[in-house]
Structure 1
Amino acid sequence: MMDSWFTHAPLLQKLMDKKLHIIGMVKELKQRYCFEGNALSLSELYAKIPKNPKAEILGSIRVQTLAGLSLKIVFVQNRNNRRDWLAILTTDLSLDNAEIIRIYGMRWGIETFFKVAKSHLKLGTEFQGRSFDMMISHTTIVFTRYLILEQERRQNNDERSLGGLFYLFADEVRDLDLKTALRQLMAFVLDLLPNKPKNYESLSQLHNWISALPSYIKALFAQLRCES
């Protein structure tokens, strides 16, 4: 990911030569993009796409650089100026518009990290020197401070757990109703029985377990038979 300062055709080509995809913002400069045989600016490309003015993602278009590198440019609404738009470029043509915007939005975390490191953790100001080892040591110390603070923040303030894994499991459990859960449990138990039709002792134990269940639970198994 990169901002508009770095998103230029020569750098994009060099990164793609190393098989590295790029997502970055581009601004209306002198860059031109090939579309339907014409070299067009960003504004000219924006005028050609079908737009949904009520959506934050206005539309996208596939183009090429003058050197022939294939790109996808997504136009989004500028939240600070509803009459304006922003352009996000990527070399990964397999991504849909929403995913491109979501990934690029992660840059905000990088920006806040550098802001904290420079303004509060004294990155680049705590030590002065020209030794490469000294600069690496200083940077490592600053980054370690940030990691400790971020760990404390996550533990005390952030409701996420394991990168959202908790909520994924919570959604899965919520979507699984009691009747379905019990049916899956019964199917799982039956699959564990070796030689299902001949294992009468195990089936008898299973029948005893079912008969001991409360009536409102047994009613959920009206269509389920161990013999099946």
Structure 2
Amino acid sequence: MFTLLDDINPVKLSAKTLLFDSWFAYPSIIKRVVTQYPLDVVCMIKRSPKIHYTYEGESYTLNQLYQKVRKKRGRAKILASILVGLGADEHGREIQARIIFIRDRNRSKKWLAILTTNLDHTEEDAVRIYGKAAVMMR
């Protein structure tokens, strides 16, 4: 992925956001994209006991974070969101991201998670950006 990014030079393309699926959605990869390229990331993230995010100074898996957040009532499509840390950059500053928990439209009792590193994105913006890409990939 990084070889491809180097070859296409996102700056010349005026790209602002890199979208990808959960295959590449590891904090170390997201952190590298944000620090090495002037790009925000929007991606689906997967539940894994091996992937951790920092919240309030503690390390949590995605499932643990979902248990911590207060969910919206009723049939809301966006269930909750939470600000997390992905790790420090080369200057020791924490790279932050927003994780948005959404209802799985195919299985109403289940949830999915989308991550954005652009903290100016609203929850709806991040879901819309990822959703447009997912429709184009079908």
TM-score range, shorter chain: 0.7 to 0.9
Check conservation: 2:28, 2:86, Cα contact below 8 A. no
Deviation at 1:70, TM superposition (A): 0.6
Out of 26, 29, 45, which is 2:45 matched to?
Answer: 26
Question: In structure 2, do the counterparts of structure 1 residues 66 and 46 end up closer, same or farther at CA, with 3 Å as the change threshold?
Answer: same
User: Which segments of 5 or more consecutive residues in structure 2 lack a partner in the other structure?
Assistant: 1-18, 89-93
Distance 1:102 1:109 in 2: 11
Matched, 1:87 2:106: no
Distance 1:32 1:109 in 2: 28
Deviation at 1:11, TM superposition (A): 1.7
Of 103-112 and 26-35, the range deviating more from structure 2:
103-112
Q: Which amino acid aligns with 2:60?
A: L
Matched, 1:73 2:92: no
More strand by percentage: 2
Q: Which 4+ stretches in 1 moved above 3 angstroms?
A: none
**Counterpart in the other structure of 2:82:** 61
Give the aligned CA root-mean-square deviation in angstroms: 1.2
Distance 1:41 1:14 in 2: 20
Secondary structure, aligned partner of 2:108: coil
**Counterpart in the other structure of 1:16:** 34
Deviation at 1:94, TM superposition (A): 0.6
**Counterpart in the other structure of 1:96:** 122
Task: Figure out how many residues of one structure are paired with residues of the other and give that number.
Answer: 112
Check conservation: 1:26, 1:89, Cα contact below 8 A. yes
Matched, 1:35 2:55: yes
Query: What does residue range 133-152 of structure 1 map to in structure 2 within 5 Å?
Result: none
More helix by percentage: 1
Q: Which has the higher contact order (CA 8 A, sep 6+)?
A: 2
Deviation at 1:32, TM superposition (A): 0.4
Deviation at 1:109, TM superposition (A): 3.4
**Identity among equivalent pairs (%):** 35
